[in-house]
Amino acid sequence: MIRAVLFDVGGTLLREETYLLGTTWDERRVQRLREALGRDEPWFPAVARLPEPEEHEGQAHRQETRIWIRSLLLERGVSATDEEVERIRAACCVPSLEGERPRDGALEALRWCKARGLKVALVTNVLWRTAAESLADWTARGAADCIDTIVTSLDAHWRKPHPAMFELALSELHLTPPEAVMVGNSRAADVAPAKALGLRAVLIRSAEGSTSETQPDAVIDEMTELPAVLERWL
Ligand SMILES: [Mg+2]
């Protein structure tokens, strides 16, 4: 009955404690900015710690990373072309492999989905990462052939829990909500919006502490448990 699995990335496929590397990666972003631009600028640390506002121009969950970069530079009297903003964004996108590690069973779960003929989408809130850069991360892990499409909030201009993130993934897979299950570690950003659209939802436990009235269809502690859950819905 289900034909696709949508996976959250941070805290779901990747271990949460490695996904939130905080200041370590701020410093790495500054280093990459120096390399990409071939100089040092006093605003590098501020860009590396770019805030993620909850809303943009009054729209909740709207994401406009490139506009936020440009605004931060303008506040410091620096104007940048679209091309320069894009180079800054790309420099701040540290390859996942440098620090993030998959959860137990994550790569095996992706391969299991592929082997069972299920479509796989990654549906991920990010600040810096395009789908192409995310795919490069999974290519480096040897799992790119398991992934049919990637929707990042940077590309979509919306962040989960906004329904556009899930709708885009389903549209790219040419599937309807009842044909898909969302697997995520956030009750608020993954489970509730997916269920509201008519998808099934599996919650994977993590330190993420968001709450929701909406109950998931299944709860797992590790990705190693996912195949047995999905088997019931095939
Ligand atoms: Mg997550």
Q: Determine what percent of the chain is predicted with pLDDT higher than 70.
A: 99
CA of 9 to the centre of ligand 1 (A): 6
Q: Are residues 70 and 185 in the same domain?
A: no
Q: Are residues 117 and 89 in the same domain?
A: no
Number of domains comprising the chain: 2
Domain carrying residue 204: 4-18+100-231
What's the whole-number average pLDDT of the chain? 96
Q: Are residues 88 and 145 in the same domain?
A: no
What is the structure's pLDDT at 17?
Answer: 84
Query: End of a domain among 65, 96, 127?
Result: 96
Query: End of a domain among 43, 64, 96?
Result: 96
CA of 188 to the centre of ligand 1 (A): 10
What is the structure's pLDDT at 111?
Answer: 98
Q: Are residues 123 and 8 in the same domain?
A: yes
**pLDDT tens digits, one per residue of 36-86:** 999 999 999 999 999 988 899 999 999 999 999 999 999 999 999 999 999
CA of 40 to the centre of ligand 1 (A): 33
**pLDDT tens digits, one per residue of 155-207:** 999 999 999 999 999 999 999 999 999 999 999 999 999 999 999 999 999 99
Q: Is the pLDDT of residue 21 over 80?
A: no
pTM: 0.97
For residue 21, give the 3-state DSSP assignment: coil
CA of 192 to the centre of ligand 1 (A): 13
Q: Are residues 145 and 218 in the same domain?
A: yes
Q: Are residues 161 and 87 in the same domain?
A: no
List b or e across 109-127, with b for residues whose CB sees 16 or more CB atoms inside 10 angstroms.
Answer: bbbbbbeeebbbbbbbbbb
Q: Looking at residue 212, which CATH number applies to its domain?
A: 3.40.50.1000
CA of 19 to the centre of ligand 1 (A): 9
| Sequence-distant (≥ 6) Cβ neighbours of residue 18 within 8 angstroms | 99, 100, 101
CA of 11 to the centre of ligand 1 (A): 5
What is the structure's pLDDT at 24?
Answer: 83
Q: Are residues 108 and 189 in the same domain?
A: yes
CA of 57 to the centre of ligand 1 (A): 25
Query: End of a domain among 49, 73, 96?
Result: 96
CA of 13 to the centre of ligand 1 (A): 8
Residue 136: CB atoms within 10 Å: 16
What is the structure's pLDDT at 20?
Answer: 67
